[in-house]
A and B are shown apart, each in its own frame.
Chain A
Amino acid sequence: MTDLFGKELRVINVGASSFNEDYRRQNIPFIHLDWRPPAGGDAEVLGMLEHLEARRPEITRANDEVLRRVKSAQGKLVGVKLAREVLPGMDGRIILHAGPPIAWANMAGPMRGAIIGALMYEGWATTPELALALAASGEICFAPCHEYGAVGPMAGVISPSMPVHVLLDEVHEKRAYCTVNEGLGKVLRYGAHSEAVLQRLRWIESDFAPILDAALALAGGIDVKGIISQALHMGDECHNRNKAATGLFLREIMPHVLRTNFPLEQKIAALEFIKGNDHYFLNLSMPYCKLALAAGHGVEQATVCTVMARNGYEFGIKISSSDRWFTGKANKIEGLLFPGFTMEDAAPDIGDSAITETMGLGGFAMGGAPAIVQFVGGRVEDAFRYSRQMHEICHGENQAFTLPTLDFMPTALGIDIRKVIATGILPIINTGMAHKEPGVGQVGAGLVRPPMSCFKAALEAVASQAEVDLLCHAPGCSRFPVHDAEGATR
């Protein structure tokens, strides 16, 4: 205690701000906490938190294990294959989508539009009208990408004939999948399904994917995790800014593309396609994050999130110790709109890309990506604070991903639902805004937070202990619901 006497007094003030003036008067260095009642002052939820205190050592050990696994995961892009060839259970009339399970009736415009496009792309319908009827008929099975080890930005639609990036984690022998990013403007992931959109998708399938797959075979795979580490030092946060990472990827793949036996024009077109799309790498960053977090999924007692995803209707999270989705209503995004659009035009939060935030990238790493800050509305200083603040709700940090602008501070890793509830601080996600009508495209970008209700639901499950056997590892297992077109659970 004598360590206090004779030293400079430095105070953290929790509660009444009226004392601050007197600290200032006495030159006492202090921080006034932005304190809010834990759990929003909800005595019942706070009780659950306190109840979990008894299990703290086990939970801490479990969360340590989750982070150990996540950090040790590798992420190598090893091929580009058709979804039905590599994704188990993708050979029927099935369409994967972003976010937690959702019935056709509840789907947002962009997702509906993308599904219409996918049905035509597959040849299951010849016109948008017929596609619409088919989608509503109940003959098509809709399921979340996440249940298939896949992720998709915005609508996140994957149909069996779409090529997907295949990422391999040799350490945990897991794979993750994501489609090829089509670029900006009128694209399927924003619900566009014009002939031009379908043509581009067909070109990706027929021309682009084979070249890239062959190049990757020659390269012996490309380390995606390594590119992310470097790109973070070049101003990317690998969610909304992938400029540097796309450049780095292009640098890696270029010689191997040239070495393939395809016609030169076709190879140039493939390289031009990557070059012309600053977001190409998003569809590699996302499956890497999925892969790493999948390695950390399935640790009993753990309270760390392994999934955050949105379907334009609901926001869903998963925690390592449970295969259940915990959902709440998706929020609207706050940020900047492109010319000609208003907030009324924007669809609620959509896409699997929040997997990057779950992994400590995106909004969590914004402090290292000053260029993105204005785009989503705000100042560089805000981004620094967000990146620091996220440490307050995370179990640990990721030394592989550091932010030069913050003295190489490691990014926060392992969103702990207990800390989210206790502090009232929700994860910060930076994201694009889709038009609520199918096919219009992106209308802006901004920041969004998940609804608190999904964290509360997860906490309840953990606290009740009735959910300890929540884990089930087989995809397609009845333990996680897959909704059909009527919204009924199969």
Chain B
Amino acid sequence: MNSLVKVLSNEYFDSVTLMSLTAKLRRVGGAEEVVVLMGTPMNLQLMRGLGFTEDELRLATSSDCVIGVRSKDDAGALAEEVLRQLKEGKVQKAEGRNVAPATIVGACQDLAANLVIISTPGEYAAREARLALEQGLHVMMFSDNVSLEDEVRLKQMAQAKGLLMMGPDCGTAIINGKGLCFANRVRQGSIGLVAASGTGLQEVAVQIHRLGHGISQGIGVGGRDLSLAVGGMMMKQGIKALAKDPDTEVIVLISKPPAEEVQREIFALLDTVPKPCVICFIDGAPVGVDGPHRRVVHSLEGAALAAIDLVDGGRGPSAAAWRGESDAVNQIGLTAPTQKYIRALYCGGTLCAEALGYARTVLNPTFSNVAKRQEERLSDPRESRGHSFVDLGDDVFTRGRPHPMIDPELRLKRIMEEAADPETLVLLLDFVLGYGAHEDPVGISVGTIEAAQVLAQRAGRCLAVVAYVCGTELDKQGLESQVELLRRAGVLVATSNLQAIKLACAIVGEGELARD
């Protein structure tokens, strides 16, 4: 052990700087004792107490900085290190503790916010939403597992304050051209959407964009808004807001079929709105009738077409053009006689419901975990039977793990399972692009798709893969490159979800292709 005292004559450092330095250098290897002090009588007393000798300290005065070190190995080197750090002035920088606001009220001090987006676990979400509404802020609540009572209470509160309460369980909104949570980047335009369905909103917005138009606002309301209990509170509020919005020319409502009474109220409200409307209720019995300013449609693509038609005063495209994929059907190789069924593996819940809704009209029977009818329900969503339409965003799959839009892992396994099933003829897949979604959903899946095809081939079968990529060329993943990747893997890529299911049905020999 050796010990050393250095006196820096007439050099002043404040005590805090010296303490910080000491704390740091004490951790240096070999250091037994590091003391850096101004040579005041009290400090010198302290150093004597630490075993530095009178002789070593004799030269120090109050205006000197005194370095005392004791080291297991080289005290001289340690003293040099102290000097170096003192001169560099590095000691000033302590570790910063990052303290971001912890509450909505606190955050409001730092940012004049107007929207709070909540994605906490469901049991805490209602509380945060209430705090946000109390601050006069609009809310988008991605969280689910919020009680119906809480939803009603929050929406009543929002209604009274003239605020948006989007959700619970609202995954998509496009406000002022900004995509929130899971949303595609689309052109701004004159079509306003109010949707009780996330991927429903995404698909309509994407189709409108694909057809050269744009949207003004895309308001999500959450899947339960049109239930009897909630009474469509937010959809009504959304309709009223879009009615007043000067940028909105046409209003499109997107939902699964609402409670009858709620539907009546919404139709009554629409009667008072002087703007043309499109009503799109997915996977339900046809409702209502068309009027000069009102279209009732049953597909998402149909909603986009009708809206554009209304914007253009009836001169819009009457149907999506089918682009040559019918030829592709003929290119499908020789299939085995066991291969009979469509196996649709969806990330988007409403896309799955739309596919099921169409398939039901041409195939019998169909099965799904999103089906309302008892006889149509898959007894175990983990296992397909017949024509199966599986929403992999179902709670059964997502409990404790990310949604397949974010993490496609779960679906990849399922693709291989379906490929191994001799009854599978068509694999139907959706790929959702946009904000919130996986950075490269096709890229991460394409290897598995190819492996699935090889697996089927080795068993003497030919697996047809049909896909729809819900996205635009503006999305961060890039629509074209995603589509191109699929095509190169021999996947038939449709231009809308509806076209994809039609194509799948055509392959199993049912339904009509290329005629809308």
Chain A: residues with CB nearer than 8 A to chain B? Answer: 1-16, 18-19, 22, 25-26, 28-38, 43, 46, 50, 185, 336-340, 374-375, 377-379, 381-382, 385-386, 388-389, 391-392, 419, 422-425, 444
Q: Knowing A5-B176, A375-B16, say if A339 contacts B35 (CB, 8 Å).
A: yes
CA distance A278 to B516 in the complex (A): 87
Are B94 and A33 closer than 8 Å at their CB atoms?
no
Are B175 and A9 closer than 8 Å at their CB atoms?
yes
Give the chain B neighbours of A46 by CB distance below 8 A: 127
- Which residue from chain B places its CB closest to the CB of A37 in the assembled complex? B124
CA distance A444 to B241 in the complex (A): 61
Are A31 and B111 closer than 8 Å at their CB atoms?
yes
CA distance A399 to B484 in the complex (A): 64
**Separation in Å of the A53 CB from the closest CB of chain B?**
9
Give the chain A neighbours of B118 by CB distance below 8 A: 14-15
Are B113 and A1 closer than 8 Å at their CB atoms?
no
Q: Does B120 contact A (CB under 8 A)?
A: yes
Residue from A36, A43, A381, A419 in contact with B96 in the complex, judged by beta carbons closer than 8 Å = A381
The SS class assigned to the B binding surface is: mixed
Across the A-B interface, give the 6 residue pairs with the lowest CB-CB distance, nearest first: A15-B119, A385-B99, A392-B106, A34-B100, A22-B435, A339-B35
Chain B: residues with CB nearer than 8 A to chain A? Answer: 16-17, 19-20, 22-23, 33-37, 42, 46-47, 49-50, 92-121, 123-124, 127-128, 132, 137-138, 142-143, 162-164, 175-176, 178-181, 217, 237, 240-241, 244-245, 247, 406, 435-436, 476
**Separation in Å of the A389 CB from the closest CB of chain B?**
5
Q: Knowing A5-B241, A340-B50, say if A11 contacts B117 (CB, 8 Å).
A: yes
**Separation in Å of the B101 CB from the closest CB of chain A?**
6
What are 13 of the A-B contact pairs (CB < 8 Å)?
A11-B115, A15-B117, A15-B119, A26-B435, A34-B100, A35-B128, A37-B124, A38-B124, A338-B19, A375-B19, A377-B94, A392-B102, A422-B103
Give the chain B neighbours of A422 by CB distance below 8 A: 103
CA distance A410 to B96 in the complex (A): 24
CA distance A50 to B130 in the complex (A): 12
Give the chain B neighbours of A26 by CB distance below 8 A: 178-179, 435
- Which residue from chain A places its CB closest to the CB of B434 in the assembled complex? A22
Q: Knowing A16-B142, A185-B42, say if A4 contacts B96 (CB, 8 Å).
A: no
Residue from B97, B137, B142 in contact with A15 in the complex, judged by beta carbons closer than 8 Å = B142
Give the chain B neighbours of A18 by CB distance below 8 A: 406, 436
Are A10 and B178 closer than 8 Å at their CB atoms?
no
Give the chain A neighbours of B103 by CB distance below 8 A: 33, 392, 419, 422-423, 425
Give the chain B neighbours of A337 by CB distance below 8 A: 19, 23
Give the chain A neighbours of B105 by CB distance below 8 A: 392
**Separation in Å of the B114 CB from the closest CB of chain A?**
5
Are B244 and A2 closer than 8 Å at their CB atoms?
yes
- Scoring B100, B105, B121 by chain A CB atoms within 10 A of each residue's CB, the highest score goes to B100
**Separation in Å of the B473 CB from the closest CB of chain A?**
16
Give the chain A neighbours of B240 by CB distance below 8 A: 1
Residue from B22, B110, B247 in contact with A31 in the complex, judged by beta carbons closer than 8 Å = B110
**Separation in Å of the A58 CB from the closest CB of chain B?**
17
**Separation in Å of the B172 CB from the closest CB of chain A?**
12
Are B101 and A392 closer than 8 Å at their CB atoms?
yes
